[in-house]
């Protein structure tokens, strides 16, 4: 049996309250977006720290299953009411950072999202529903495990997409 090649080690860090300003075109204008990301994870690749996932902290009760349920059924139905506002924030931050793995957390609920589709269609004058894979976790004792697995998948996907490094 031939052993698998070992992946080279990468440095990873978490950053709290990172602030970024990003400009992007909307029609004939250029729009500036300010992002204050609560918690992000970065990997050191080719001499640069690059984000691969982030988490937004929300007040208790802000994540309501009833507002997210229609979109979680597999269709292209958008999240509703205050859930829509949270999703817009997550998508804006994801677009600004070039990240597909985003999460939101309250004391009682953790929502993990892997955003799909083309990033260049996420923002603009006529935003449409963005396909996403999700996990809704309400068991407090399971949240840390789910977040760890989520971050592991996010890092693998990031390294595969950005540098062609496949991590087992």
- Average the pLDDT over 112-139 and give the result: 81
CA separation for the pair 102, 112 (Å, rounded): 6
Residue 152 lies in a domain: yes
pLDDT in tens, 86-125: 888 888 888 888 899 999 999 899 999 998 888 877 776 5
Residue 113 lies in a domain: yes
With cut-offs at 50, 70 and 90, classify the pLDDT of residue 2: low
Residue 104 confidence (pLDDT): 95
3-state helix, strand, coil in the chain (%, to 5): 30, 35, 35
Residue 36 lies in a domain: yes
With cut-offs at 50, 70 and 90, classify the pLDDT of residue 78: low
Ramachandran sector of residue 90 (left: φ over 0; alpha: ψ -120 to 50; beta: rest): alpha
With cut-offs at 50, 70 and 90, classify the pLDDT of residue 126: low
Residue 5 lies in a domain: no
Say whether pLDDT at 3 is over 60. Answer: no
Mean pLDDT over all residues of the chain?
A: 83
pLDDT in tens, 39-57: 999 999 889 999 999 999 9
Count how many domains the chain has: 1
CA separation for the pair 47, 54 (Å, rounded): 21
**Residue 156 sits in which domain range?**
12-163
Residue 69 confidence (pLDDT): 77
Query: Among the listed ranges 1-5, 62-66, 119-123, which one has the minimum average pLDDT value?
Result: 1-5
Residue 48 confidence (pLDDT): 92
Say whether pLDDT at 132 is over 60. Answer: yes
Residue 44 confidence (pLDDT): 93
Residue 4 lies in a domain: no
Query: Among the listed ranges 3-17, 95-109, 149-163, which one has the minimum average pLDDT value?
Result: 3-17
DSSP, collapsed to helix, strand or coil, labels residue 73 as: coil
Residue 117 lies in a domain: yes
Cβ-contact 30, 24 below 8 angstroms: yes
Residue 7 lies in a domain: no
Residue 1 lies in a domain: no
Burial class (CB in 10 A: 0-12, 13-18, 19+), 93: buried
């Amino acid at each position: 049996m031939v052993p698998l090649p070992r992946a080279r080690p990468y440095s990873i860090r978490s950053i709290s309250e990172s602030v970024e300003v990003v400009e992007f075109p909307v029609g004939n204008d250029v729009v500036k977006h300010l992002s204050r990301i609560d918690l992000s994870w970065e990997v050191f690749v080719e001499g640069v720290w690059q984000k691969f996932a982030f988490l937004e902290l929300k007040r208790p009760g802000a994540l309501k299953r009833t507002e997210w349920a229609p979109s979680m059924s597999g269709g292209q139905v958008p999240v509703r009411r205050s859930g829509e506002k949270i999703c817009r924030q997550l998508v804006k931050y994801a677009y600004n950072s070039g990240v597909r793995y985003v999460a939101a957390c309250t004391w009682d609920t953790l929502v993990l999202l892997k955003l799909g589709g083309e990033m260049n269609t996420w923002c603009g004058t006529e935003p449409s529903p963005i396909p996403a894979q999700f996990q809704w976790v309400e068991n407090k004792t399971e949240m840390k495990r789910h977040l760890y697995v989520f971050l592991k998948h996010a890092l693998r996907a990031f390294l595969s997409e950005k540098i062609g490094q496949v991590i087992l």
